[in-house]
């Protein structure tokens, strides 16, 4: 009886831990996605300020991709 209860307890523990890990992963990805969007806006504004002119769409996209890659690399190092 004790072994059966311990087995059920372990199964429940494993389920709770897996759910918590999935929730953390989802929250981390959501934060990265939100930050990526905001970084794109910031990069665009910064380039406009520094360069003093509007950049074309291709350059804007390149800058966003570079910033997102840097953010993802930073997030990976922080894990």
Dihedral sign for Cα atoms in the order 49, 55, 59, 60: positive
Whether pLDDT at 79 is above 70: no
For position 11, what pLDDT does the model report? Answer: 92
Q: What is the pLDDT of residues 17-60, one digit of tens each?
A: 999 999 999 999 998 888 888 887 787 777 777 776 666 778 77
């Amino acid at each position: 009886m004790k072994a059966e209860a311990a087995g059920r307890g372990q199964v429940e523990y494993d389920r709770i831990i897996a759910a918590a890990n999935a929730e953390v992963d989802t929250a981390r990805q959501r934060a990265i996605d939100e930050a990526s969007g905001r970084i794109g806006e910031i990069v665009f504004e910064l380039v406009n300020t520094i360069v003093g002119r509007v950049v074309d769409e291709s350059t804007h996209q390149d800058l966003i991709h570079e910033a997102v890659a840097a953010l993802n690399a930073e997030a990976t190092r922080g894990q």
